Amino acid sequence: MRDHKPDYALIITIFGIVIFGLVMLSSASSAVAYQKFQDSYHMLKHQLIFGVFLGTLIFIVMSRIDYRYWKKLAFPLLVITVVLLIAVFLPGIGTGLKGAKRWISLGGLTFQPTEVVKLTFLLYLATWLESRGRKGVSDFSYGFKPFVLILGVIMGLIILQPDVGTMSIVVLYSLVVYFLAGGSWSHLGLLTGGGAALLWFLVKIAPYRANRFTVFLHPELDPQGIGYHINQAFLAIGSGGFFGRGFGQSRQKFQYLPEVAGDSIFAIIAEELGFIFVVLLILAFLYLMYRGFKIALDAPDLYGRLLAVGIVTWIVGQAFVNIASMTGLMPMTGIPLPLISYGSSSMIVTLAALGILTNISSQTKSH
């Protein structure tokens, strides 16, 4: 169902970022792709076919389905996602990397359920909050306690992976959407305090998280050990200067900077293209946020408003958490730069969510 044309400025911004990401991936991944697959463009081709092509098809489908349709499927989709989050721990189904169990591998197909949960949980949360009404959401027993319980279950399953980066993004948009739906300041304060205490606990029980926090406070500490990743990122960003070394001229991508095609791709962008392009990229995400919040403001109902705000908070929030961790403004989180980092699960789910946002934009009250 469409009342008018979708927000073309939003669509152009989305795919402008995607195309820019593919161009940068062709350079950032070339050395590691050649080392692993003897093909400098292997990762680019994989991202193009399994990430961007499939993601674009799903984006088109999602943009044509009335966003209200997802209310009916919100609970079944969440249940399926919870099953998938549990399945990563099953032998023969779940696969691990560097101590983390975050992937499911079935018949040659590998995907990350923690990426899927970002969308399915948001669909469920928006449906549930709208059904409660503003008075219900603000009520401690009827709104706050069930919200904490639902969020707690999802957080627990994500922490077990472990994937604190994804958990922080889910918590971020959940709090924003909860408050928008009628949550009180006092409840928000309780949640924020509880979240800070949980984060402190997670840092204390896992040495690698404590190391990340220590390095965040003292980046110069142990540059060849726990501080290696962030120091190499600083070297890449700093050596880019205002105008960059030039496209394809990165030195850090040659096995110096870890995760050059994934979480660390922002550092390669800064190294090759420099400060000016970095600012333009940040402005592109800010413009995406502006268009998204404008759509939310003009959404025809509360459900559309909650979905739009949730999607924008998730994607733009994740972009800025990634950039902040690469520039030393936050501890390293290990989450991808949306629409740019290598990873088909992230690309497909992000484009699916933006397809829903595009559908909302075609039904806004003013255009």
Over residues 179-232, the pLDDT tens digits come to: 999 888 888 888 888 888 877 787 777 666 666 666 666 566 555 556 788 888
Q: What is the spatial distance between Cα 287 and Cα 285, in angstroms, rounded to a whole number?
A: 5
Given pLDDT bands bounded at 50, 70 and 90, which one contains residue 1?
Answer: very low
Q: Tell me, what's the pLDDT at 304?
A: 95
Q: What angle, rounded to 10 degrees, do the helices at 185-205 and 207-217 form?
A: 110
Please, what is the Cα angle at 21 between 20 and 23, to 5 degrees? 65
Query: Residue 86 pLDDT > 60, yes or no?
Result: yes
Q: What is the spatial distance between Cα 278 and Cα 22, in angstroms, rounded to a whole number?
A: 16
Question: Is residue 235 one of the residues assigned to a domain?
Answer: yes
Q: Tell me, what's the pLDDT at 66?
A: 95
> Which whole number is the average pLDDT over 122-148?
87
Domain that holds residue 19: 8-361
145 or 310, greater pLDDT: 310
**Domains identified in the chain, total number:** 1
The answer to whether 56 and 351 have CB atoms below 8 angstroms apart is yes
CB-neighbour burial class of residue 350 (10 A; exposed 0-12, middle 13-18, buried 19+):
buried
217 or 3, greater pLDDT: 3
Average pLDDT, the chain: 88
Q: Which pLDDT tens digit goes with each residue over 326-356? A: 998 888 777 899 999 999 999 999 999 999 9
Q: Is 215 helix (H, G, I), strand (E, B) or coil?
A: helix
Q: Tell me, what's the pLDDT at 98?
A: 56
Q: Tell me, what's the pLDDT at 323?
A: 95
Question: Is residue 98 one of the residues assigned to a domain?
Answer: yes
Q: Which pLDDT tens digit goes with each residue over 137-170? A: 778 888 888 998 999 999 888 888 878 888 889 9
Q: Tell me, what's the pLDDT at 210?
A: 63
Neighbours of 115 (CB within 10 A): 21
* Residue among 261, 356, 344 at smallest CA distance from 6: 356
Query: Residue 322 pLDDT > 70, yes or no?
Result: yes
Phi, psi of 69 (to 5 degrees): -60, -30
> Which whole number is the average pLDDT over 291-319?
96
Which single residue is written with the structure tokens 């501080």? 227
CA distance to 28, 70, 92, 181, per residue, from 134 (Å): 47, 21, 45, 6
Question: Is residue 366 one of the residues assigned to a domain?
Answer: no
Given pLDDT bands bounded at 50, 70 and 90, which one contains residue 68?
Answer: very high
The secondary structure element, H or E, covering residue 130 is: helix 113-138
> Which whole number is the average pLDDT over 40-47?
94
Cβ neighbors of 19 (< 8 A, separation 6 or more) are none
Question: Is residue 115 one of the residues assigned to a domain?
Answer: yes
Q: Tell me, what's the pLDDT at 218?
A: 59
Question: Is residue 177 one of the residues assigned to a domain?
Answer: yes
Cβ neighbors of 256 (< 8 A, separation 6 or more) are 232, 235
DSSP secondary structure of 14-50: HHHHHHHHHHHHHHHTHHHHHHHHS-TTHHHHHIIII
Bridge partners (DSSP) of residue 110 are 105
> Which whole number is the average pLDDT over 239-264?
89
Given pLDDT bands bounded at 50, 70 and 90, which one contains residue 63?
Answer: very high
Among residues of the chain, what percentage have pLDDT more than 70?
Answer: 90
DSSP secondary structure of 69-93: GHHHHHHHHHHHHHHHHHHTTSTTT
pTM of the model: 0.90
Question: Is residue 248 one of the residues assigned to a domain?
Answer: yes
Query: Residue 114 pLDDT > 60, yes or no?
Result: yes
Q: Which pLDDT tens digit goes with each residue over 90-104? A: 877 777 665 566 778
Neighbours of 131 (CB within 10 A): 11
Given pLDDT bands bounded at 50, 70 and 90, which one contains residue 77?
Answer: very high
Tokens at 198, concatenated: 């949980």
